[in-house]
Amino acid sequence: MAAAVPCTLGSVQAGRARWVAAGCSRLGHGWRLSGSWGARRVGPVLWARAWAPPAGGPVPRRGYSSDVKSEDELRVRQLEEENRGADLKERAKMHSSEVGPFVSKIRAVINDIANLPVPTIAAIDGLALGGGLELALACDIRVAASSAKMGLVETKLAIIPGGGGTQRLPRAIGMSLAKELIFSARVLDGQEAKALGLVSHVLEQNQEGDAAYRKALDLAREFLPQGPVAMRVAKLAINQGMEVDLVTGLAIEEACYAQTIPTKDRLEGLLAFKEKRPPRYKGE
């Protein structure tokens, strides 16, 4: 989940939620990015799983990107956490002076995810309300089960989305529709979200309740063989180019393309094509 990682793919799943790739986060109750970490290696893939302490137990805090920067061989990371949005019971106990800094921390974490130099996929199999949807909006691709529920519902609580929702939702579906959803605090199912362009794929939920997660894994498997440097700069070119005019965007594309020219991966790709074999990219 950091610039040192040559190629990582991610997915986030809300309700029963994970990310596959850059990170895989479980979204359920509360907005706590905490836990302890264990990892096992499966071939070139490293899986890391976070655990939540028992109810009432101590919660060790950690940052999302603090330890990932050194994992140079990381290809797929899974973080597991419960999160459907902000914990309103916790919020109700906060002094007004604590709310602003609390929301700022949430916004910073979501921004970190949005700025990951690798593809991220949000897989929404359950609820993604408020902060849960804001986290999904920070991902590059969103997939959902038809039974999933998602929405920015903060105006019901006399507040507004504070984790980037007022900015990322209009960029995803357009200003007018975004205003309608935020003003009404409407909750969408997977089919409705697909019709508005909020998610790229919608699937009938399976018996295990992880249809979106399985689709996210399928997408991650499609992404994983591609050149790591190319994936990183392609994401950079698209993200930065969307914020500027076309002429400036084309200049950004040119600069990003230039970063791929001196790489060993580019030469390996050409050689693999010539020899009609799968390329063996190393992210260099």
Pairing label, strands 45-51, 36-42? antiparallel
In the block, residue with structure tokens 């921004």: 111
Which SS3 state, helix, strand or coil, does residue 9 take? strand
Catalytic residues: 86, 131, 134, 154
Longest dimension (CA), the chain: 65
Pairing label, strands 36-42, 24-26? unpaired
Q: Are 109 and 64 in contact (CB under 8 A)?
A: yes
Q: What are the structure tokens assigned to 189, written together?
A: 């199912």
Of 89, 98, 99, 170, residue with least CA distance to 134: 170
Q: Are 18 and 25 in contact (CB under 8 A)?
A: yes
**Amino acid at site 162:** G
Q: How many angstroms separate the CA atoms of 186 and 179, rounded?
A: 11
φ, ψ of residue 28 to 5 degrees: the values are -150, -125
**Amino acid at site 161:** P
Query: What is the distance, to the nearest Å, from the Cα of residue 270 to the centroid of all Cα atoms in its chain?
Result: 31
Q: Are 280 and 268 in contact (CB under 8 A)?
A: yes
Q: What are the structure tokens assigned to 131, written together?
A: 């902060």
